[in-house]
Amino acid sequence: MLKNSVTVTSLCLSLLILGGGVLSAAEDSSILGRHSFNEAWKFHNGDVDGAEMASHDDSEWRSLDLPHDWAIEGPFDVKYNARCGGLPFHGTGWYRKTFDVPTASAGKKVLLTFDGAMYNAHVWINGHFLGNRPFGYIEFQYDVSEYVKPGESNVVAVKLAPEDLSSRWYPGAGIYRSVWIDYRNPVHVTHWGTVITTPEVDQDEASVSVSTTLDGVADGNTATVQYTVLNQDGDVVATDKVKSSAAGVTAAKLQVAKPQLWDTEEPNLYTLQTKVFVGDQVTDSVEARFGIRTIEFSKDKGFFLNGTHTRIQGVCLHHDNGPLGAIANRRAIQRKLEIMKAMGVNSVRTSHNPPSNELLELCDEMGILVQVEAFDVWKKPKVENGYNKYFEEWSERDIKDMVRRDRNHPSVFMWSIGNEILEQHSAKDGNRIAKQLNDYVKEIDTTRPTTCGFNWWPMPYKTGMAGQVDIAGMNYKPLSYGDPVNEYLPDTPVVGSETSSCTSSRGVYHLPIEKYQTHPSKQVTSYDIIGPPWAYPPDIEFDALEEHPEVLGEYMWTGFDYLGEPTPYGGKDNSTNGYWNADWPSRSSYFGAVDLCGFPKDRFYLYQSQWTSDPMVHVLPHWNWEGEGHDVIPVFAYTNCDEVELFVNGESQGRKVKGKDLTKLPIKFNNYESDHMLSKYRLSWDVPYQPGSLRVVGYVDGQAVAEKEIQTAGEPAKIELVPDRKTINADGSDLVYVTVKITDAEGNFCPLASNEVHFTVDGPGTIAAVGNGNAATTAPFIADKREAFNGLCMLIIKAGKQPGEIAIQASSEGLAKATTAVNVKKH
């Protein structure tokens, strides 16, 4: 059994780190601390001789703000790899920024921090080479104090060189995460220099252990550090003041009475204020959020959060944000997590790389547990130019930096050292590297368990590789839960680290229901039965987890569709040097329970029926089947109610009882002996088709508590615009997602509509992107029009920096125009 009691702290860099200092002038106080460095960059797509020099003329380069992903602008082209989204993410790109360094910074430390740059970043300032960081997902910082010129203009230049065949999915390209500049006094808290844990937690009191490392303490001098803990109301709940060692390290233990614990239902957060004194003068001041919670993992009983048994209801998520590309936009990530929480998700696996700061900050705030994953490959390549090229030189630094950065987040509860690593076949290399990476993690953090996603059953279990981590991650092996895995790992907890891999296209229904490999339409039926050879419908995993309550839970593949990897079209997974263009234009994932725009597929509701308790019922398919040649339509219902009754045009088709009335599903995946499953997780009827109303009613204890109705739609006649929010922030980065629905004259949703919709936007906002969730189209994301896919498309608008009203208009030939408005306000 592995038990952790952990208090964790979130370095909310964009909001919470403040400056303090030895202030002799007002301008000193205005510069000290952390500042966004995202505005007013210049960009050039292509290589340029001499662009690292401050004197280089970049006046003709494109002006933009960060974060930026140059590849998402396209165009899609079959000459690029559909496995990576069919977009031009490789090549060379240059970014430059000319900026003034205040005179008051003389004698201060000037630090430049990149949250992430894709890929193989080389950085110069005023022509001086600062360094190279190959891994595109890792945060890195440079001390530029001796190279900047206070009171003058300075130039930072960044060259990025992402390679073709460097990723198995769409990685993006560019400085796609935020950049920061810090001005600090010589004596200050180091980067990631504060560590917080809680060795004892109970309902009466929590011990908060804090350690801080300082820069600038030397020659026998010491500093004093004052710690103050504030609750969510801003009240002081603990304080202490300690002297540093000569090496600049401090340690303290504070007691918090009646702690408010962080969990998935009530993510209570505290704030730690750290002030550094030299003599009686403050030289640095930082703030960081943290939460108090305990985690416990048991081989026999599962996972416990604050002593309460908690089943992991998790999703794997890639880092891209659909039509926006790879940019780490806070609102885009927040919306993604909101949709996942509505499905019942309580945990995210950051497949297969370190996540953005924004994702972890939001998971802290929203109560979502996170398994942070380091690598998709070690030394053996899956693609020609993958991280394997850098593993030997960089893996220790990268994984340690990942843990240092993220160890104080309450949401982070598990470290993954890799995914489906090809060294699983090598007893010598697999064991050695797994132990090495595990040891690197434990050097930095012993309060959380390690895991790894293993898929080559039973090799890594037989060789002992899976025993090198604390929790065995089992990818697509529900038939091996229990005795099979216990034979090899009798004492190691198990989690379904990647499950199901069911594929589907929103709103697509192929009849008859049958298991096929691919379909001529380049779409996949949404009856939720199709997947690649290793994959299976969600029902298989539900059944296995019900049979094995000791398994910690699952991370289904995937919560959202993502760019690239258009399985089952185009290619074979893990094919070195593989281009997936055989089924062009299929260029993005079908795996998601939610499509690339965030529109739920039917599978969203299947998971919701298992993972939520508020009464719900969902019915499929659509009810527009005229002229399709199908007299009888299979109707499915997903529910968490006891029973469901189906009505067609008001006439009952009978009630079905969940768990008793079973639905036969065609099944075919590796090592599954039958050709079908009788699922207790779905209810079904075979219904003679007649246009009109399809309605389902869910009952609990005989009482109707939920219902859903679908109407047969007439010809498309109108556009309906539905913004996800009516007020957004005038900060230059906030987003509003506008759902665009095609309806008939009476307002009924048209589930087969494909009308092209044109958009105009007036006021303090601009079109950021458009999309429709279709995985097989080359229509650009950066545009002012979009064709509906099965009745829906999406308009994404980015706020400007001035308050006002954004007026939005949508038009399409033959349809009535639609308008809506969104307020932009300063917060």
Please give the class, per CATH, of domain 2-11+188-294.
mainly beta
Residue among 91, 162, 133 at smallest CA distance from 385: 162
Contact partners, residue 751, CB within 8 Å, separation at least 6: 507, 622, 623, 624, 713, 790, 791
For residues 26, 30, 33 and 37, what is the CA-based torsion angle, rounded to 10 degrees? -150
Boundaries of every domain in the chain? 2-11+188-294, 26-184, 312-500+536-570, 617-711, 718-825
Measured between alpha carbons, how far is 690 from 680 in angstroms, rounded to an integer? 27
| pLDDT score recorded for residue 426 | 86
Measured between alpha carbons, how far is 761 from 767 in angstroms, rounded to an integer? 7
CB of 497 closer than 8 Å to CB of 474: yes
Measured between alpha carbons, how far is 70 from 68 in angstroms, rounded to an integer? 6
Please give the class, per CATH, of domain 26-184.
mainly beta
Query: Nearest 5°: phi and psi at 698?
Result: -100, 140
* Superfamily designation of domain 617-711: Immunoglobulins (2.60.40.10)
Given a cut of 70, the residues of the chain with pLDDT beneath it are: 1-29, 219-220, 573-577
Annotation says 396 is catalytic: no
| pLDDT score recorded for residue 24 | 36
Measured between alpha carbons, how far is 23 from 602 in angstroms, rounded to an integer? 60
Annotation says 673 is catalytic: no
Here the tokens at position 482 are 């229990």
Q: Is 16 exposed, middle or buried (0-12, 13-18, 19+ CB in 10 A)?
A: middle
Contact partners, residue 683, CB within 8 Å, separation at least 6: 636, 637, 638, 639, 644, 656, 658, 661, 663
HEC per residue, 523-586: CCCCCCCECCCCCCCHHHHHHHHHHCCCCCEEEECCCECCECCCCCCCCCCCCCCCCCCCCCCC
Pairing of strands 735-743, 765-771: unpaired
Work out the angle at residue 128's Cα, subtended by the Cα atoms of residues 123 and 132, and round it to the nearest 5 degrees. 30
| H helix intervals, 619-674 | none
Candidate list 139, 287, 296, 420, residue with the active-site label: 420
CB of 61 closer than 8 Å to CB of 44: yes
What 3-state DSSP class applies to 432? Answer: helix
Measured between alpha carbons, how far is 407 from 397 in angstroms, rounded to an integer? 15
772-807 burial: b if 16+ Cβ within 10 Å, else e? bbbbbbebbbeeebbbbbbbbbbbbbbbbeeebebe
- For residue range 263-272, list pLDDT tens digits in order: 999 999 999 9
CB of 347 closer than 8 Å to CB of 320: no
Measured between alpha carbons, how far is 650 from 387 in angstroms, rounded to an integer? 59
> How many other CB atoms are there within 10 angstroms of residue 662's CB atom?
16
CA distances from 278 to 21, 225, 275 (A): 10, 9, 10
Per DSSP, the residues of 332-387 read HHHHHHHHHHHHT--EEE-TTS---HHHHHHHHHHT-EEEEE--S-SSS-SSTTST
The residues with which 711 forms a beta bridge, in sequence order, are: 693
| pLDDT score recorded for residue 577 | 65
Q: What is the pTM of this model?
A: 0.95
| pLDDT score recorded for residue 428 | 87
Measured between alpha carbons, how far is 736 from 739 in angstroms, rounded to an integer? 10
- For residue range 354-400, list pLDDT tens digits in order: 999 999 999 999 999 999 999 999 999 999 999 999 999 999 999 99
Residue among 783, 753, 754, 763 at smallest CA distance from 771: 783
| pLDDT score recorded for residue 603 | 98
Residue among 7, 624, 644 at smallest CA distance from 270: 7
Measured between alpha carbons, how far is 768 from 485 in angstroms, rounded to an integer? 48
What 3-state DSSP class applies to 778? Answer: coil
Here the tokens at position 319 are 């880092």
Residue among 314, 320, 316 at smallest CA distance from 588: 320
> How many other CB atoms are there within 10 angstroms of residue 699's CB atom?
21
Here the tokens at position 209 are 């252990």
Measured between alpha carbons, how far is 319 from 333 in angstroms, rounded to an integer? 9
Measured between alpha carbons, how far is 663 from 620 in angstroms, rounded to an integer? 14
Protein fold of 718-825: Immunoglobulin-like (2.60.40)
Tell me the CA end-to-end span of the chain in Å, nearest whole number: 47
Domain 312-500+536-570, classified CATH 3.90.600.10, yes or no? no
Measured between alpha carbons, how far is 674 from 64 in angstroms, rounded to an integer? 57
Equal fold, 26-184 vs 718-825: no
Q: What is the largest CA-CA distance in the chain?
A: 88
Candidate list 287, 373, 498, 643, residue with the active-site label: 498
Residue among 459, 211, 167, 199 at smallest CA distance from 319: 167
Here the tokens at position 301 are 């009983």
